[in-house]
Structure 1
Amino acid sequence: MSTPDIFDRIARRAHRDRAAAGFAGHDFLRAAMLDGIQERLGTVTRGFEDVLDLGCFDDAFLPPPGARIVRCDAGLAFAGDVQADEDRLPFADASFDLVVSAGVLDSVNDLPGALTLIRRALRPDGLFLAAFTGAGTLSTLRAAFREAERDRPAARIHPQIDVRSAGDLLVRAGFALPVADVESLNVRYADLGRLLGDLRGMAATNLLVGRTPLRRDTLARAADAFTEQADPDGRTTERFEIVFLTGWAPAPSQPQPARRGSATASLADALKRIPPE
């Protein structure tokens, strides 16, 4: 039996199509993600031939020199080559030796399934690099809505994945040498409207199934609560937590953990050689 969707797939495509025309004015968060991905990619000495840019937005990711790239996005306006949801990928197994994804995995209905499909789309020893917003993101906005809807709270912000759970998902999907880490980005806003404008412009507004419309009086109370958190200069700080994932498709050439019981030295003997204080 399939699990019911958390996110509205139709709304997700529509929000991405709506954001496409003006995305360049709101791309700072994805730009930070791509910077982190490029930094991690720069430490890899091997070459890549076939690259998948999954959730390509405006094609800002620059592939390694000489590599062929396929651009894929859930939204039609962004989709360069293929339109598909990340948990419904149409690619054959072992199609790519590098898959990059920035800014989309936090709103995928079946994230474990999507990661498994990504791993299968990689050739042996292929690399997966991803970034998305995780737990702790939009904490100020969340508090403002909580204050505005104290009597009847509604789900306004997506469920968020912490860095430890993200690493566990990599392992569950079958990636080798998994690494998950997090970086914080703080952005200061003059008012709530500016923040909401950025979220609309980057296609990051509420996509939850069964979401309720935001009433004007609720929005006004949230705006007041947001402003109450402002610094002396009148600007309020909002936080974005960027989770980075690195994983490799398994291959015989990769370092393997030692077989259990194969150690040649005893920990107890080693501890005996440590002089007492």
Structure 2
Amino acid sequence: MASTPPRTPPRIFSRSRRTALRQRLRLLQQRPNAARYLIEDMIEDVHERLGFLRFEPRTVLIVGDYTGDLGRAMRAAGREVTEIDPADGFDEEQPYPFGEFELIVSLGTLDTVNDLPGALIHIRRALAQGGMMIASFLSLGSLQNLREAMLEADGERPAPRLHPMVDVRAGGELLQRTLFTDPVIDQRPLKVAFRSLDSLVADLRAQGASNVLNDAGPILGKEARKRASAAFTARGEDGRTVETFEILTLSGWRK
């Protein structure tokens, strides 16, 4: 009986657009007061988890921390740290060219890979025996006001504009499927108030959280953009619209 060939994951995200987005992020982060609350929340969570577990890894790989803050803190604690980013061409959907890390931290990148199970498998294989993974990224429930505003802007012919996202249940299934032990899955909201749709879009671009869909849809025209802006503002109070970012964190061990 012939074996079934492995199924190729659907191409939801554009690798070239994703790389360009990460490179643009670096430029935007050089501006004074650039938004970075998403990565700061994720970094704080990593410190809290490691402190709670009293886990002190000797070798650490950090993926996606464009601030460098986590790496600096880890080095100050005497750990050997390697830092990489998709902006430099690192492909999370391919086997890692290095390994045997006691801790791998992935921040804000795994939500835009086409083969998330494969990416998690590559992380597990790059861990040393007894090593731990912590991966955080935006998840289902994020940016609901923006989604509604885009639907109103597009009218009867909605276009793909925001990414599909993983939920808590799917996150747990992914950890089991990719053979991580002692998996922990949780989701936490981060709420931010915006004066306008433009300010939200600017923050998303500055933090590498804007559209990298392979089929990005047509550009919003002037009138559609006005409808989106009005719809976003109408969903707020006192001149501010509160948007929610749901941050999903997956952690597990290689035994």
Alignment partner, residue 154 of structure 1: 159
In the aligned structure 1, how far is the partner of 2:25 from the partner of 2:44? 21
Give the structure-1-normalised TM-score: 0.84
In the aligned structure 1, how far is the partner of 2:167 from the partner of 2:94? 24
From the superposition, tell whether residues 116 and 222 of structure 1 become closer, same or farther in structure 2 (CA, over 3 Å).
Answer: same
Superposition RMSD in Å: 1.4
Alignment partner, residue 100 of structure 2: 95
Among residues 186, 210, 230, which one is paired with 2:215 in the alignment?
Answer: 210
Alignment partner, residue 118 of structure 1: 123
SS at match of 1:35: helix
Alignment partner, residue 235 of structure 2: 229
Alignment partner, residue 30 of structure 1: 39
Q: Is the 8 A contact 2:64 2:86 kept in 1?
A: yes
Q: Is the 8 A contact 1:20 1:58 kept in 2?
A: no
Q: Does 1:63 align with 2:74?
A: yes
Of the structure 1 ranges 50-59 and 156-165, higher mean CA displacement relative to structure 2 is found in: 50-59
In the aligned structure 1, how far is the partner of 2:202 from the partner of 2:145? 15
Among residues 233, 236, 245, which one is paired with 1:240 in the alignment?
Answer: 245
In the aligned structure 2, how far is the partner of 1:31 from the partner of 1:12? 21
In the aligned structure 2, how far is the partner of 1:112 from the partner of 1:225? 36
Q: Does 1:163 align with 2:175?
A: no
1:144 shift after superposition: 0.5
* Paired residue type of 1:26: A
Alignment partner, residue 8 of structure 1: 14
In the aligned structure 2, how far is the partner of 1:152 from the partner of 1:74? 33
Of the structure 1 ranges 39-48 and 154-163, higher mean CA displacement relative to structure 2 is found in: 39-48
1:89 shift after superposition: 4.1
1:169 shift after superposition: 0.5
Aligned residues: 242
Alignment partner, residue 42 of structure 1: 51
The 5-angstrom pairing of residues 118-137 of structure 1 reads 118-137=123-142
**Percent of paired sites with the same residue:** 39
Q: Is the 8 A contact 1:127 1:249 kept in 2?
A: yes
* Paired residue type of 2:15: R
Among residues 170, 176, 179, which one is paired with 1:174 in the alignment?
Answer: 179
SS at match of 1:140: helix
1:39 shift after superposition: 0.6
SS at match of 1:43: helix
Listed as ranges, the gaps of 5+ residues in structure 1 are 77-82, 251-277
In the aligned structure 2, how far is the partner of 1:209 from the partner of 1:215? 20
Q: Is the 8 A contact 2:9 2:114 kept in 1?
A: no
1:163 shift after superposition: 1.0
- Which has the greater radius of gyration? 1
1:133 shift after superposition: 0.7
Deviation digits for residues 214-247 of structure 1 (CA, Å, limit 9, x no counterpart): 222221110010011111x210010000111110
Alignment partner, residue 4 of structure 2: none
Deviation digits for residues 36-80 of structure 1 (CA, Å, limit 9, x no counterpart): 11111111224311110012322121326111111111003xxxx
Listed as ranges, the gaps of 5+ residues in structure 2 are 1-6
SS at match of 1:128: strand
In the aligned structure 2, how far is the partner of 1:139 from the partner of 1:18? 25
